[in-house]
Amino acid sequence: MLTPLDIHNKEFKKGFRGYDVDEVDEFLDEVIKDFETLYKENMELKDQLQKHRDHLNRYKEMEETLRNTMVLAQKMADEARRNADKEVDLIIWEAKKKAEQIINSAHEQVIQATAKLEELRAFEKQLYVKLKSFLNTQLELLESEHLNTSPACVTEETKEYRDHGFTVEFAGD
């Protein structure tokens, strides 16, 4: 590229009937002055353009960094959501298992209690039959002894029982 110094140092050959040297020098001084102004403006514009390009590149880098950050944040949010969903599913599954165990345990306790109750009822019935049999035997024995004893031996209390017709009776007979 041509510089103002190149224009200033340019020399033309002089010929016979050539241009007026003073006029050419004057014109060249004007051209040098204007060209120098334009050259400086051009250099300043190039510098500004480079600065703007640098800024634009920085903004593009920042934009790319922000975009990458947003993508990463979205991925992390998705991962956190998936983990939370997994944790919720696990908590629900554990709660269902625990509830199932509690229900099974309670059901087993009911079965055991029912079996124990049936056992106790059978024992009660058996005891009732044995006790009734024993008491009836004792009553018969008492009555047979009573018949064998003399009236002087019978106490007032025994007479009261007999007079009232007491016998052993059980509910449910």
Q: What is the pLDDT of residues 78-115, one digit of tens each?
A: 999 999 999 999 999 999 999 999 999 999 999 999 99
CB-based contacts of 61: which residues, under 8 Å, 6+ apart?
none
Q: What is the pLDDT of residues 24-70, one digit of tens each?
A: 888 888 888 888 899 999 999 999 999 999 999 999 999 999 999 99
Whether residue 119 is contained in a domain is answered as yes
Domain region containing 143:
4-163
pLDDT tier at 165, thresholds 50, 70, 90 = low
pLDDT recorded at residue 159 = 59
Q: How far apart are CA 18 and CA 135, in angstroms?
A: 167
Whether residue 171 is contained in a domain is answered as no
Whether residue 52 is contained in a domain is answered as yes
Query: In Å, what is the CA distance from 170 to each residue of 73, 117, 121, 158, 161?
Result: 84, 22, 16, 21, 17
Domain tally, the chain: 1
Whether residue 99 is contained in a domain is answered as yes
CB 10 within 8 A of CB 34: no
Whether residue 170 is contained in a domain is answered as no
Whether residue 57 is contained in a domain is answered as yes
Whether residue 173 is contained in a domain is answered as no
Mean pLDDT (the chain, rounded): 86
pLDDT recorded at residue 160 = 61
Token output for 28: 């060249």
Whether residue 169 is contained in a domain is answered as no
pTM value > 0.75: no
CB 45 within 8 A of CB 21: no
